[in-house]
A and B are shown apart, each in its own frame.
Chain A
């Protein structure tokens, strides 16, 4: 039972800092896989578990002993590796315990631990993980995730950590916004149908931009994106006349040279009568002839420009990290105070009451077998049993209270409840 004294909050996982993408991809759990994975971990002895799995991290939040639960998780993750390193999945992972585990989740939900500092998507992913694991989370993790969402909101409200745009695609949206203001109802033409084009087109669509045309050499792929975003698929040659009407042109083809040339669109753009045209060239090598930027009211941005915008946003966000970390520390202290004192007083009371009932019953039984004792002797025996019980209970009570003050009370209380068959806390 010594293992139970290690029971506490733990986080074990891999993230973008510890594992390359091809490894992280293998560890990623779909929503349908979460219950099965958690069931295995619970079967190994965890009393609570939440699995947070995104493209940048797979983390098990547990209330458990170190052994054998952590081994079970490493083993579960290790099974997913195609090529197994000598140390298995552990080689890519990390473990944080107790206060550090709490702090870790708070940093994750705040976006402090994200690949793109301050990104807000993680907040929704933390919520989804919590909701998907509710049945197995247990009271401690339930509270931990609830507060983690609160911490994430506080950081985004009280600091500038979420300010600006931090990816090239969202930087494109920001730049277009600086030209047109409200993007709702604006039209966009997409050249190319690769992942980058699709991601950027989705970013525009999320802002209310109507993706009217998707032009690509391969019609099939263009059609798939166009259908998803509510546009029409056309060939590249059919796209050139639309430069006269579209507000935004997003170019991300795999062509080895510029496809949007002066010859193809120069005259068409001149017919716009000064209406601004924002061209986002996300391709490398570039899709758009830089000479087109010389046209009045044509705003042309390539990947370098957009990464500059994104980098500036990241730099501004970095200035906000100390303020965000301060909030994380404050909230970690609050949680730790709650967790440390969780159930200590009522459990000790219940335990002492149980011992007292036992003492009284045993004393009565003994006194029935010793009817010759004088009242003074009976009183002395009563006193002795009381003193003996107090001596037995003193040290464990002090140890429990001390552990609670240091935030380690939960594991000891679990052990006490199991050893003495006490009721679990409400």
Chain B
């Protein structure tokens, strides 16, 4: 049932992504209502599936991350009055759901414990996924910003100029995503610490998981610091967001290569 619901969500996300990307492949832009309705429908199936998941392991974590990303994509669409975020968020969410299905959506026997169904743990997972999704959104806004910046500077006026939102809105979206993502991830990390103290021995957190979690928190904190305290904006802030997200992704891949397997998120 969980897999079927994920497959339906995957199909709907995939279809929405194809429609959104159609103008770049020479097609006509799809009606806006359809590009919103399809991910909404996908999210509806997705949330039913997530409600039945045990939030342990790579598959459920990726599924949760994809769901947060789709929700943020829909909110951003509303704020930006356009489908630009979908150009990146659509393929990313679709890919994440696909990977989640391939990784397996039920946890292995070697992980988990008495506390994995507690509200603390679920909140930790949800907030951490939300923090990561917001970081991904900041990356997407930054990437869109740089592409639109290049288009405007080079006076090309192509599809990017037509379809992407204005620079200032993308800059604001990047700032919002970072500023909102940092507290979410911070609380997620703190909940993990509190959870560890309450259920000692209940959860076997690997060192890699702790290293990556703290590294991500530091990178996100740095990105917020340069934006809020150092008042970076525009191109420099976009580059910082992309560098930060890229580093987080690289470290994750490196750690995953050292410790392969789908039983754990890391």
Contact = CB atoms under 8 A, between A and B. Distances in A.
Give the interface centre of A181, A301, A308 by most chain B CB atoms within 10 Å.
Answer: A181
B233 A179 contact: no
B234 A178 contact: no
Interface in A279-322: 293, 296-297, 299, 301, 305, 308-309, 312
Nearest to B153: A299
Given A178-B152, A180-B166, A276-B167, A309 B234 contact: no
Contacts of A179: 152, 166-168
B24 interface: no
B222 interface: no
Contact of A178 (B161, B233, B235, B236): B161
Contacts of A305: 155, 157
B163 to A, nearest CB: 11
B148 interface: yes
Contacts of B165: 181
A180 B148 CA distance: 12
Interface in B143-172: 148, 152-153, 155, 157, 161-162, 165-169
B167 A178 contact: yes
A276 B169 CA distance: 13
Contact of B168 (A175, A181, A293): A181
A274 interface: yes
A301 B235 contact: no
A308 B162 CA distance: 13
A39 to B, nearest CB: 50
B167 A312 contact: no
A297 B235 contact: yes
Contacts of A297: 234-235
A177 B166 contact: yes
Give the interface centre of B157, B161, B169 by most chain A CB atoms within 10 Å.
Answer: B157
Contacts of B157: 305, 308-309, 312
Contacts of B233: 274
A308 B168 CA distance: 23
Nearest to B161: A178
Contacts of A180: 166-168
Nearest to A300: B155
Contacts of B168: 179-181, 276
A274 B152 contact: no
A303 to B, nearest CB: 12
Nearest to B155: A305
B148 A178 contact: yes
Contacts of B155: 301, 305, 308
Nearest to A177: B166
B83 to A, nearest CB: 15
Contacts of A299: 152-153
Interface string A145-169: 0000000000000000000000000
A211 B169 CA distance: 23
A308 B161 CA distance: 12
A179 B234 CA distance: 11
Contacts of A293: 153
B161 A296 contact: no
B235 A296 contact: yes
A276 B235 CA distance: 10
A276 B234 contact: yes
Contact of B169 (A181, A274, A308): A181
Contacts of B153: 293, 299
Contact of A181 (B161, B162, B166, B236): B166
Contacts of A301: 155
Contacts of A309: 157
Interface in B163-206: 165-169
A341 to B, nearest CB: 37
B22 to A, nearest CB: 15
A232 B193 CA distance: 61
A312 B156 CA distance: 11
A320 to B, nearest CB: 11
A276 B145 CA distance: 13
A297 B167 CA distance: 11
B148 A274 contact: no
A179 B148 CA distance: 9
Contacts of B161: 178
B31 to A, nearest CB: 12
Contacts of A178: 148, 152, 161, 166-167
Nearest to B166: A181
Nearest to A163: B162
Nearest to A186: B168
Q: Which 4 interchain pairs have the tightest Cβ spacing?
A: A181-B166, A181-B168, A181-B169, A305-B155
Given A181-B166, A274-B234, A296-B235, 7 more contacts: A175-B152, A178-B152, A179-B168, A181-B168, A297-B234, A308-B155, A309-B157
23 contacts: A175-B152, A177-B166, A178-B148, A178-B152, A178-B167, A179-B167, A180-B166, A180-B167, A181-B165, A181-B168, A274-B233, A274-B235, A276-B168, A276-B234, A296-B235, A301-B155, A305-B155, A305-B157, A308-B155, A308-B157, A309-B157, A312-B157, A312-B162
